[in-house]
Amino acid sequence: MGEALLLADAVEKIYRTGAEEVVALHGVDLVVNEGEFVSVMGPSGSGKTTLLNCCSGLDVIDGGRVLLDGVDIHELSDGQRTRNRASSMGFIFQAYNLIPVFSAIENVELPLLLAGVDPKEARRRAGESLERLNLGHRLKHRPTELSGGEQQRVTVARALAGQPRVVWADEPTGALDSETADTVMDLLRQLNQEGLTLIVVTHDEGVGNTAHRLIRMRDGRIVSDEQVTTPVG
Amino acid sequence: MPVVLVLSLPFLFLLFFKPVLRRLAFRNAIRRPRESLLVVLGALLGTAIMTGSFVVGDSFTASLRAGAHDQLGPVDELVSANGLDDGEILFARFDDFSDPDVDGVLPMLRASAASATTTEPRRAEQQVQLLETDFAVAREFGGDPAATGIEGETPAPGATAIGEDLARSLEVDIGDEIDIFLYGSEARLEVTDVLPQRGIAGFWRGPQTTSYNLFLAPGTVAALYEARVVDGEPPQALVAVSNRGGVEDGAELTDTVMPVLEAQVAGLPANVDDVKQRVLDNADLAGESLTQLYTALGSFAVLAGILLLVNIFFMLGDERKSELGMLRALGLRRSGLVGGFALEGWCYALVSAIAGTFAGLGLARLLMEGASRAFSTGDEEFQLSLRYNFEWSSVQQGFMLGFAIAIVTVSITSVWLSRFNIIQAIRDINEPARKRPRKRALYAGLGLAALGLIMTASGVGSAAFFPLIVGPALVVGGVGPALARNLPRGPVTSVLAAIVLAWGVVCVPVAIALDADFDVFIFVLQGLLLVGASVVLIAQHQHAIGHALARFRPRSLSVRLGLAYPLARRFRTSMTLGMFALVVFILVYVTVLTSMFAGQTDEFADDLSGGFDVLVTSNPSNPVDLDALASEPGVNAVAPLVTRVAEVTPDGDDDSLNIPMTGFDQALIDNGPPILEDTGGYGSNVEAYEAVLNDPSLAIVDDFFLNQGAGPPGDELDIGDSFTIRDPVSGRETTLTVAAIGPNDFLFNGGWMGVDAAREVFGESAVPSRAYVAVDDPAAFAVDFRGRFLDNGGDADPIIDLVDEAFAQQNQFFRMMRAYLALGLVIGVAGIGVIMVRAVRERRRQVGVLRALGFEAKAVRSSFVVESAFVAVEGVLVGVILALVTAYSMTLTDEFGGGLEFTIPVFSIAVLVIGTLLFTLIATAAPARAAAKIQPAVALRIAD
C-alpha cells in the first residue's frame, strides 16, 4: 500500500434551504492511501456524494479540513483548487456529463488542454485513450450520437486522459446495463491495478465488494470501514 | 379589440376546458419568474414600436390640425378675387348671402407688404399680411367670438392692430410705431393692439406656421394702391365663410357648401377654396405619412423582436425536450402539446402587449421631444410647434398589432416545436437532419416557385415593387428542394442563397429602372431579403468560419468552448445573427445615405443655381426693380422669376396640393439655367428650357414635386405626365405637361413654366418679385442687398447657403430617424442578454462538469463572452457589409435623388459598430459572471 494521498479530518457539511439546515456530513474522518480502490456505499441521503464532492474540492465544507498530498485543498483559492483538480483528479459521473457540443475526442482532450498540454499532443493522447477503450471508431461522434455505455467509456477516457492520481466516480454504472457495467468496472479495476487511486460512490453491492476497502455511510457518518481485498502494491 | 378576442378564443377555450394544459402552461410560465419577465420584455418591444409609430402620427396630425384653429378658426371656405374692382363685385354678391349650412360670411381685403420698425437698429419682416375688416362683424363671425381672436375696435386711420407673431419678431408693443412698404409708398402706423394667433386674428394661407398680420383701418390699402408708384401684386378681396359647427366639424359641411358658393360667384373671376378641409386633410396625410415612415423603419426592430421571440421559444423547447417527450409518451396528443405551449405563449403575448402599449406611449413622447428639437430649427416662419397627442383608436391598434404578432409567432413556433420523435426527445437526442428534402417539401417548393413566377410577371407588368422584388426570390427559393433531391444539399443551398443575396443588392435599382412604385417599405423588403439570404449562406459555412477564427487562439479553451455552442446550435445562432444583422443593416444604410446626400451639397447647389449665385426675393406688393439691379456694378446677370403658390392636381387625381410654380424668361436661359436631371428627349439643357418657355403647356418638375410627406419620393410625375394648376385667388387654371425633370428643389421654386404662361394663370399677381442673380461676390452682395432693399422686403442669400441650410434640416430629420432605428439595437443587445441568461440556465450542469474538470471560473466567463461576441460581430459585419453594398447599388442608378456619389462615413459607422459591440459585452457581462459563479458540486447535484 502507498502513502496517504487523501486525509479528511472532521469534515462537516451543512445544506441550508431557507430556515432549514440539513447536516450532510457530521465530522467525517477518512484516510485514502495511494493506489487504493475505495468504494463508498449507503442508502440515499446518507452523504456519499457529498463526501465525494467535499473531499474532491468540488464543494465547500463547513468544518474540518481535507488534505490532498498534504495540501489543504479548502485553504486554496478557487483558481488554485481548480488547477489542482485539473492536474491531479479525474471524475466519472452517473449521468456521463459530457459536453454535448464537443465530439468524443474533444471531450477527452479537454482535461489535457486544461493542464496545458500542447493541442496536437492532447489530441494524440485523447485518441489513444479512446482507442484503448475500443472507441477508436467513435472519435468524431457527439455524445448524443453514442450509446449509454459508449458515453460512459468516453467519460472514463476523459477522467484518465490527464493521468490523474485519483479518480472520483459517482455511480459510474448506475445508468448502464449489467454487461456494460461489468466492462466499465473491469476497466477501472485494471487501471487501479496499474496504480490509479479510485474512489467510487455506489449503490451496487457487486461494485462495492470488488473494491479493496468498503466504507458504509448513514446519516452523514461513516458507520463501517472494512478491508475487502488486498490492494496491489 | 375584437381581433384580440378572436385571436384569443382558442386559448380561452383551453384555459377553461383543458385543466391539464392550463396547469402545464401556467406552471411553466411562473416556474422562473425572472426569465418569464425577460420573455415578456423581449416581446413587448414590438407592441411599443407599433404603438409609438401610431402615436407619433397622431401627434403630428394634432399639431398640424392645430393650424386650423390658429390660422383659420371659423373660416371653412374662402372666396377670393384679385383687385379692388372685382373685389367690390365679389363683396356685393355676398351682401345678402344666406344658406342653412352657413352661419356667417366675413368680407376682408388683403395685401402683402414689407414692414420695419422706425428706430435704429431697424428690425424688418419682408412678408407681412395687411388685412382690413370690420372688427365687430369679425367677432361675431362663426358664432364664437373667442375662436376669432379679434379683440377691441377696428383700427382707426394711422393705427394698426398687429398679430403677436409679428410683434415678437419686430420686438414692438402697443404704442410703438412701424412702417409698412407697398406699391412704392410707405405708411407709418401706431400699434394700438396686439392680437393672438387665433382664428381671424391669426388668419394665414401660406405654408408658414407664423401669422405676420397687420390689421388696418378700412380704406388704407385701397388708398395706397390707388397712389401706387410701383406695380405690384394687387390687393385681394376675400370673403371668409363659416359653416355651421365648430372649428373642425364645420369642415364636414364643405362638400355641401362649395357648390352653393361656386354658384354665388358664377361669372366672376373668383375662386372658391375649401381651405379648412385642405388643412385638415393635409394634416391627416402628413400624420399618416409619418406613421407609415415610422412603422416601416420600426418594422426592422419588430422583425428583430420576432426573431428574438422565436429564439427564446426554441430555447424553452430545447430545455423542456425530455419532459415534453414524456408527456407525449404518457398520451398527450401533439395538438395538446401545441396548445400547452401556445397557451403559455398567449400569457406572455397578452402581458407583453399590455406593457408594450404603455411603453409605446412613453416612446412616442420621447420621439416627439426629439422631433420638437428637429422642427424648431431654421426659419421661425416654418417652425412647427409639436404637441404630444394620441387617439384611443391608435392605442388599440398598437395593442392589437403587437398582440397579433406575438401570438402568431408563438403559435407557429409551438407547432414547430411539437414536431419531434418521442424517444429521441426523452433521451434528449438531436434528430438527424434529413439528407434529401421530403416530397411534400418538393411540391411546396415548386408551388412557391410558380407563385414567384406569377408575382414577377405581374410586378413587371404593373410596376408594383412588392411582387417585383419578392417574386424572383421566391422562384430561386422554391426550386431549392427540387435541386437538393438530386444534388448535394449544402452546395445547392449556398448557391441559391448567394443568388438571392445578389438579387437583394440589385433589386431596388432594378425596381427604379422599371419605374416601380416607390414606397419606404421597399427597404424593409430589401433588408429582409438580404439578411435572410446572408444568414442562410453563413449558416452553411458557420463551421469553416468558426474554425478559421479558432486558429487565431488555438490554445484558448475559452475561445474553443465559446465558439462550440453557436456552431453546434445553427438554428439559434442564425436567429440571433439575423436579429443583429437586420437592425445594423438599416442603421448603417440610413447613415450611409445621409452621408451620401450630405456630400452632394455642392453638386446640388451647382445644379440648382446653373450660371447664377444668389437668390433674391422681395415683397410682391413692393418688388425690387430688377432691371435697375441688373445694371449695377458687380451684378453680371439677373433672371426675374414669378413665383406663386398654385393648386396642383395631377391628372387622374381628385385632390389638389398647394405647390409653388415659377415662371422664368429668356434671361434665365441666357446665363445658364439649373441643370436638368432628365432633359426629356431635348438635345440639351437649354433646348429643354427654351421649349418650356415657348410652349405654355409645358413645365419642368423635380422628383419631389408632389411629395408632401417625409422619406423618399412618393407619387412622382414622369416626363409626359400632365397636371392642372389653378390660381387660388382668381380660379384661373391651365393644364401642363412635364417636359423635363429638374434638379431636386431646395429653394421653393416648385415647378418651372414660361413667364407668359404664368401670367395667363396668375394675372396681375404674376409679379417678378424673385430673381436668380449672377454676381462677383455672392456673400457681400447678399449683405448689401438686404440693407439697401429693406423697404421692398428684400432678402438675398447665396444659393449654396440655402442648400446647406436645407441639408442641415434634412440631416436633423435623419438623425431623428437613426435614433428611432436604434431601438432595434436595443432589442438586439437586450436580446443577446436574454439569450445568454437562458444559455447559462441551460448549461448549468455542463458548466459544473467543466469546473470539475479544472476549467477556471474566469475561463467560463470568457467562454460566454466569446460566444456572444462571435454572434454579435458576425451580425454587425453582415449588417455593415450589406448596407454598404446596397448603398453602393443606389449610386448605379441616376433615378434616385440624381447622381449620388458613394461615400463611407467611417467615423459614424465605427461609433455604431463599437457602441453595439460594447453594449453587447455589457449585456453579456451579468450572465457570464453568473456562469462563472456556478459551483460545480451544486450544478452537478441539481438535475434541472
- Partners of A4 in the β-ladder: A33
Contact of B834 with B313, CB cutoff 8 Å = no
Using alpha carbons only, what angle is made at residue B75 by residues B649 and B222, rounded to the nearest 5 degrees? 90
Nearest to B689 by CA among B724, B716, B664: B664
Using alpha carbons only, what angle is made at residue B817 by residues B815 and B820, rounded to the nearest 5 degrees? 115
Closest chain B residue by Cα to residue A89? B853
Nearest to B674 by CA among B616, B614, B720, B612: B612
Residue from the list B568, B858, B937 with its beta carbon closest to the beta carbon of A101: B568
ipTM above 0.90, yes or no: no
Closest chain A residue by Cα to residue B429? A144
Interface subset of A 68-107, CB within 8 angstroms of B: 78-79, 82-83, 85-87, 91, 93, 95, 97-102, 106
Residue from the list A60, A95, A113 with its beta carbon closest to the beta carbon of B557: A113
Average pLDDT of every residue of chain B = 86
Query: Which residues of chain A does B938 touch, with a Cβ-Cβ cutoff of 8 Å?
Result: 59
- pLDDT tier at A200 (50, 70, 90 boundaries)? very high
Closest chain B residue by Cα to residue A50? B937
As a whole number of angstroms, the distance between CA B345 and CA B842 comes to 20
Q: Are strands B159-163 and B185-195 parallel, antiparallel or unpaired?
A: parallel
Packing angle between helix B557-568 and helix A104-114, nearest 10 degrees?
A: 160
Mutate to test the interface with A, among B853, B856, B867, B870 (most CBs of A within 10 A): B853
Nearest to A208 by CA among A167, A158, A169: A169
Nearest CA to CA, how far is B538 from chain A (Å)?
19
Q: Which pLDDT score is estimated for A64?
A: 94
Q: Answer yes or no: do B569 and A101 touch at CB < 8 A.
A: yes
Packing angle between helix B33-71 and helix B392-417, nearest 10 degrees?
A: 150
Q: Answer yes or no: do A86 and B429 touch at CB < 8 A.
A: no
Q: How many CB atoms lie within 10 A of CB A68?
A: 24
Mutate to test the interface with B, among A16, A25, A62, A99 (most CBs of B within 10 A): A99
Query: Which residues of chain B does A111 touch, with a Cβ-Cβ cutoff of 8 Å?
Result: 853-854
Query: Which residues of chain B does A78 touch, with a Cβ-Cβ cutoff of 8 Å?
Result: 856-857
Mutate to test the interface with A, among B421, B849, B933 (most CBs of A within 10 A): B849
Alpha helix segments (H runs only) across chain A: 48-56, 78-88, 104-114, 119-132, 148-161, 178-193, 205-209
pLDDT at A233 over 50: no
Nearest CA to CA, how far is A68 from chain B (Å)?
16
Query: Which residues of chain B does A101 touch, with a Cβ-Cβ cutoff of 8 Å?
Result: 564-565, 567-569
Q: Answer yes or no: do B855 and A82 touch at CB < 8 A.
A: yes
Residue B305, CA distances (Å) to A154, B45, B329, B352, B599 in order: 41, 7, 34, 12, 34
Average pLDDT over every residue of A46-54:
90
Contact of B730 with B743, CB cutoff 8 Å = no
Q: Answer yes or no: do A110 and B557 touch at CB < 8 A.
A: yes
SS3 B530: helix
- DSSP letter for each residue of B643-658: EEEEEEEETT-S--EE
Nearest CA to CA, how far is A48 from chain B (Å)?
12
Which residues of B have a CB under 8 Å from any CB of A?
428-430, 554-555, 557, 561, 564-565, 567-569, 845-846, 848-858, 935-938, 940-941, 943
Low-confidence residues in chain B, pLDDT < 50: 709-713, 942-944
Interface subset of A 144-173, CB within 8 angstroms of B: 144-145, 158, 162
Contact of B28 with B21, CB cutoff 8 Å = no
Query: Which residues of chain A does B935 touch, with a Cβ-Cβ cutoff of 8 Å?
Result: 58-60
Q: How far is CA A222 from the centre of its chain?
A: 19
**Peptide bond before residue B121 is cis, with ω within 30 degrees of 0:** yes
Using a CB–CB cutoff of 8 Å, tell me whether A17 touches chain B.
no
Mutate to test the interface with B, among A101, A152, A160 (most CBs of B within 10 A): A101
Q: Which pLDDT score is estimated for B944?
A: 36
Q: Answer yes or no: do A86 and B846 touch at CB < 8 A.
A: no
Contact of A161 with A127, CB cutoff 8 Å = no
Query: Which residues of chain A does B857 touch, with a Cβ-Cβ cutoff of 8 Å?
Result: 78-79, 82
Class of residue B769 by CB neighbours under 10 A (exposed 0-12, middle 13-18, buried 19+):
buried
Using a CB–CB cutoff of 8 Å, tell me whether A58 touches chain B.
yes
As a whole number of angstroms, the distance between CA B536 and CA B391 comes to 42
What are the φ/ψ torsions at residue A123 (nearest 5 degrees)? -65, -40
Give A83 or A202, the one with higher predicted confidence: A202
As a whole number of angstroms, the distance between CA B886 and CA B836 comes to 32
Mutate to test the interface with A, among B426, B569, B940 (most CBs of A within 10 A): B940
Q: Which pLDDT score is estimated for B935?
A: 83
Nearest CA to CA, how far is A182 from chain B (Å)?
23
Q: Which three cell numbers stand for residue B254?
A: 364643405
Matching residue, cell 422584388: B469
Q: Answer yes or no: do B846 and A79 touch at CB < 8 A.
A: no
Q: Which pLDDT score is estimated for B708?
A: 55
Average pLDDT of every residue of chain A = 86
Using alpha carbons only, what angle is made at residue B94 by residues B92 and B95, rounded to the nearest 5 degrees? 65
What's chain B's Rg over C-alpha atoms? 33
Using a CB–CB cutoff of 8 Å, tell me whether A62 touches chain B.
no
- Partners of B102 in the β-ladder: B99, B243
Nearest CA to CA, how far is B561 from chain A (Å)?
9
Residue from the list A60, A97, A114 with its beta carbon closest to the beta carbon of B845: A97
Q: Answer yes or no: do A99 and B940 touch at CB < 8 A.
A: no
Nearest to B438 by CA among B495, B478, B479, B485: B485
pLDDT digits (tens, 9 = 90+) for B764-820: 888 899 999 999 999 999 988 888 888 888 889 999 888 888 777 677 777 777 777
Nearest CA to CA, how far is B24 from chain A (Å)?
26
